[in-house]
């Protein structure tokens, strides 16, 4: 027989898990279908060909837009990025695509909306998108071409052949089901961790480490997010639990950005294209975006 206090904590965790599941799973199904449609109608080779036509400046904004609708994975983002760099696209433009892809995407937008509402979601999109463009413009002025690795990335099975709309829709449904099945474990893990944080971890400890009283809370949140990362699907339920525990929303989003952009899997993929110097610049930029986003949100929602 468990002590009453532990029983109460587990009951709270279970209730919170059910609440998250009711909110997130239907939204995740919708997001999965949108991802499936994007992969059919906007395959990596098409995105790459469109971006090759643009120079830095306006091209950075366009690249960030394409990055925002491209799921960050080895099947889409990395082949597009490699193709752009190998075709001689400016490093800054390529970084605009790279920075926006893990931070602003359909999964993040839809789940953020379900958890935090329209106002926070719109401000998050605007802030991270703008910072990604600004960061890419600065990077483009430095002259970093010498830090690129000469690597050929093979085209993957994500590339699609010309088909009619009916077939594309059927493929999108199949692809969305596959994506949902692939990502559901990560979402579930995130909901479990979020539920345990909500029911078991004392709020005093969370606020001591990441609360208003700690002047280093935002940079610490960005750094702590990196090793925790289990995909954006898994990060957001954890973020919801942290916010419900009383942590400032800016600090919570800094944690999400750190995990989404500076995770070990992401760095392993990018190590194929960048040397250590360029990889360090990428990490530094993500940390800057996370800190700036956190500060902006905490100022607005203080």
What number is the average pLDDT over the span 224-242? 82
Residue 160 has pLDDT above 60, yes or no: no
Question: Of 151, 181, 108, which is closest to residue 272 (Cα–Cα)?
Answer: 151
pLDDT in tens, 210-221: 998 899 999 999
What number is the average pLDDT over the span 99-112? 87
Question: Of 86, 104, 90, 102, which is closest to residue 136 (Cα–Cα)?
Answer: 90
- Number of neighbours of residue 66 by Cβ within 10 angstroms: 19
Residue 159 has pLDDT above 60, yes or no: no
Q: Is 146 in contact with 118 (CB distance < 8 Å)? A: no
Predicted confidence at residue 76, as pLDDT, reads 64
- Number of neighbours of residue 287 by Cβ within 10 angstroms: 19
User: What percent of the chain lies above the pLDDT cut of 90?
Assistant: 34
Predicted confidence at residue 113, as pLDDT, reads 92
Q: How far is CA 85 from CA 59, 101, 236, in A?
A: 14, 16, 31
What number is the average pLDDT over the span 165-193? 84
Predicted confidence at residue 74, as pLDDT, reads 53
* DSSP-derived secondary structure for 216-280: THHHHHHHHHHHH-S-HHHHHHHHHHHHHTT--HHHHHHHHHHHHHS-HHHHHHHTTTB-HHHHH
Question: Of 25, 27, 16, which is closest to residue 117 (Cα–Cα)?
Answer: 27
pLDDT in tens, 2-39: 687 788 888 899 999 999 999 999 988 888 888 778 77
Residue 197: both structure tokens together: 């944080």
Query: What is the average pLDDT value for the chain, to the nearest integer?
Result: 84
Residue 230 has pLDDT above 80, yes or no: no
Q: How far is CA 137 from CA 80, 97, 174, 186, 237, in A?
A: 19, 12, 38, 33, 32
CA atoms of 89 and 86, how far apart (whole Å): 7
What b/e readout covers 168-205, taking b as 16+ CB neighbours within 10 angstroms? beebbeebbeebbeebeebbbbbbbbbbbbbbebeeee
Predicted confidence at residue 154, as pLDDT, reads 54
Q: How far is CA 110 from CA 34, 70, 71, 170, 250, in A?
A: 10, 14, 13, 22, 18
């Amino acid at each position: 027989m468990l002590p009453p206090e532990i029983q109460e904590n587990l009951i709270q965790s279970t209730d919170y898990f059910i609440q998250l599941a009711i909110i997130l799973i239907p939204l995740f199904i919708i997001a999965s279908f949108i991802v499936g449609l994007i992969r059919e109608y906007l395959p990596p080779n098409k995105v790459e060909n469109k971006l090759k036509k643009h120079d830095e400046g306006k091209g950075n904004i366009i690249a960030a837009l394409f990055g925002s609708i491209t799921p960050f994975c080895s099947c889409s983002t990395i082949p597009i990025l490699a193709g752009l760099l190998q075709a001689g696209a400016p490093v800054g433009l390529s970084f605009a695509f790279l920075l926006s892809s893990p931070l602003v995407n359909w999964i993040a937008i839809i789940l953020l909306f379900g958890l935090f509402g329209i106002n926070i979601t719109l401000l998050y999109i605007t802030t991270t998108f703008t910072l990604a463009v600004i960061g890419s413009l600065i990077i483009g002025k430095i002259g970093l071409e010498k830090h690129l690795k000469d690597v050929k990335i093979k085209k993957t099975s994500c590339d699609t052949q010309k088909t009619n709309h009916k077939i594309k829709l059927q493929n999108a449904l199949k692809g969305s089901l596959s994506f949902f099945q692939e990502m559901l474990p990560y979402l579930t893990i995130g909901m479990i961790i979020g539920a345990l944080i909500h029911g078991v971890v004392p709020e005093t400890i969370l606020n001591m480490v990441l609360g208003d009283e700690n002047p280093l809370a935002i940079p610490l949140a960005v750094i702590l997010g990196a090793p925790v990362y289990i995909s954006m699907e898994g990060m957001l339920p954890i973020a919801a639990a942290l916010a419900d525990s009383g942590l400032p929303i800016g600090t919570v989003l800094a944690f999400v950005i750190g995990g989404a952009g500076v995770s070990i899997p992401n760095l392993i993929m990018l190590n194929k294209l960048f040397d250590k110097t360029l990889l360090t610049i990428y990490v530094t930029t993500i940390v800057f975006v996370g800190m700036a986003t956190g500060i902006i949100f905490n100022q607005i929602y203080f």
